[in-house]
Amino acid sequence: MSAALPPLHSLDPIGPGHRVTLGETLPLKLDCGLDLGPYQIAYTTYGKLNADRSNAVLVCHALTGDQHVANVNPITGKPGWWTTMIGPGKVIDTDRFFVICSNVLGGCLGSSGPKDSDPSTGKPYGLRFPVITIRDMVNAQAMLLDHLGIQQLFCAIGGSMGGMQVLQWAASYPERVFAAIPIACAAKHSAQNIAFHEVGRQAIYADPQWHKGDYFEHNTIPRAGLAVARMAAHITYLSEAALHRKFGRNLQNRERITYGFETEFQVESYLLHQGSSFVERFDANSYLYITRAMDYFDLAGQAGGVLANVFQGTKTRFCVVSFTSDWLFPTTENKEIVRALNAAAANVSFVEIETDKGHDAFLLDEPVMFATLQGFIDGCAEQRGLNGRSEKGGRA
């Protein structure tokens, strides 16, 4: 089924939504020391901005996510990645909130990244694109909000790398974030997670089709390397319990094992599918840049090594969420954020959701997560003086 999809670079990456050119007069100062500008940010919005512009919700996507959070994805044809959470009458109610989701800087779905043309050469940047960080992504989003005329977000929310962006938002622009919901994330990327990312990057480097990042010029794509990177990463998003429940040791299209190296087990077939469908929608160089951005993330490192200093004096209300079976961003790392927020006397809620679905649980139907986030968002909306929830869906 993945073979039927056209290759990434031949598609209009924007689909429904918008793209804006930013940093024309004032370039973005990147953490690596370079200036970037002008640059482009692609984004989608849902719902209406209210008169006093107080109902904006910024949704931050994870490593391989994109701006198509609640509409049909123009590349895959599948529903947006967080339609469980966002829509009319849902936890993030698009009848009530103005929802913004942008493709991160360095991404490959319309925002400036290594796939774009370098104006100085006319060829794709490849590895000549400047190395970016989570803070750079957030600074670019802040410029997008300036462009949209939004001074303060009602809420910034995201899981995994999206959660890192939420934390960075609260750290860099505390007065611009009324409420922050970092889910299944950490204030720094752990050594284990950097190690997994390095495995993925090495798989891409090792692919002869990669050509040191200049694969478009050679009319190739490092599919095999990127697929392996995705397969390895995908395992970390699940849990043994979830994999076992889904596949166990069941065989794929056969009655007994055949003592060979063709796909024997269902779990192998599943991973191969994950890998091959991913290369149709994602750019290998973007994968390198974004994994690197996550690896560099260390919020305490930005404040002399003390995480609590990052949040000193913050008025933002936080709700931190973790999952019991998440071994990529385990509860201990989420609680480190909570501990720092307590030490800064911040207003914080924290829930550990009991589930066996692993890191990916934040994308799935988790009724307990929905109920707690609904309570948190409603409480914050009341504090912010936003009108009551719509009566859609028969819920009070």
Partner 1 sequence: MNQTRALVTTTHRDIRRDLLLIAEMVTPGSRLLDVGCGDGSLLEYLASEKQVDGRGIEIRQSGVNACVARGLSVIQGDADSDLPDYPDAAFDYVVLSLTLQATRNPRKVLHEMLRIGQRAIVSFPNFAYWRVRLQLLLDGRMPMTAALDDPWYETQNIHLCTIKDFDQLCARDGIVVEQRIAVDGQGKRLGGAPANWFGAQAVYLLHRR
When asked if residue 313 is in the footprint of partner 1 (CB under 8 A), the reply is: no
Cis peptide before 130, with omega less than 30 degrees from 0? no
| CA-wise closest residue to 381 among 313, 321, 304, 317 | 317
Does residue 360 have a known ligand-binding role? yes
Does residue 214 have a known ligand-binding role? no
When asked if residue 350 is in the footprint of partner 1 (CB under 8 A), the reply is: yes
How far apart (Å, rounded) are the C-alpha atoms in residues 123 and 304? 40
Using left for φ > 0, alpha for ψ between -120 and 50, and beta otherwise, residue 23 falls in left
When asked if residue 391 is in the footprint of partner 1 (CB under 8 A), the reply is: no
- Which of 354, 388, 390, 392 binds partner 1 (CB under 8 A)? It is 354
Secondary structure of 75-87 as H, E, C letters = CCCCCCCCCCCEE
Secondary structure of 297-351 as H, E, C letters = CECHHHHCCCHHHHCCCCCCEEEEEEECCCCCCCHHHHHHHHHHHHHCCCEEEEE
When asked if residue 26 is in the footprint of partner 1 (CB under 8 A), the reply is: no
Of 17-25, 63-71, 293-301, 334-342, the segment contacting partner 1 by CB under 8 A is 334-342
When asked if residue 247 is in the footprint of partner 1 (CB under 8 A), the reply is: no
Residue from 54, 160, 239, 277 carrying the catalytic annotation: 160
Kindly state the smallest distance separating residue 190's Cβ from partner 1, in Å.
Answer: 20
Of 45-53, 152-160, 187-195, 369-377, the segment contacting partner 1 by CB under 8 A is 369-377
Q: Specify whether 102 is catalytic.
A: no
Of 4-12, 57-65, 112-120, 374-382, the segment contacting partner 1 by CB under 8 A is 374-382
Go through 286-302 and write b for each residue having 16 or more CB atoms within 10 A of its CB, e for each that does not: bbbbbbbbbbbbbbbeb
Q: Specify whether 356 is catalytic.
A: no
- Residue 368 neighbours by CB distance under 10 Å: 12
**CB nearer partner 1, residue 131 or residue 343:** 343
Residues of this chain, 82-141, that bind partner 1 according to CB under 8 A: 84, 90-91
Kindly state the smallest distance separating residue 184's Cβ from partner 1, in Å.
Answer: 15
**CB nearer partner 1, residue 145 or residue 185:** 185
148 in helix, strand or coil? helix
Q: Specify whether 160 is catalytic.
A: yes
Structure tokens at 60: 């931050």
**CA-to-CA dists, residue 89 to 219, 344, 386, 396, angstroms:** 46, 35, 15, 10
When asked if residue 209 is in the footprint of partner 1 (CB under 8 A), the reply is: no
Please measure the distance between the N-terminal and C-terminal CA atoms of the chain and give it in whole angstroms. Answer: 42
Q: Residues annotated in the binding site for substrate, as ranges?
A: 230, 360
Q: What residues are annotated to the active site?
A: 160, 326, 359
Residues that bind partner 1 (CB under 8 A): 84, 90-91, 317, 319-320, 335, 338-339, 342-345, 347-354, 365, 367-368, 370-372, 374-376, 378-380, 382, 393-396
Q: Which residues does the annotation place in the binding site?
A: 230, 360
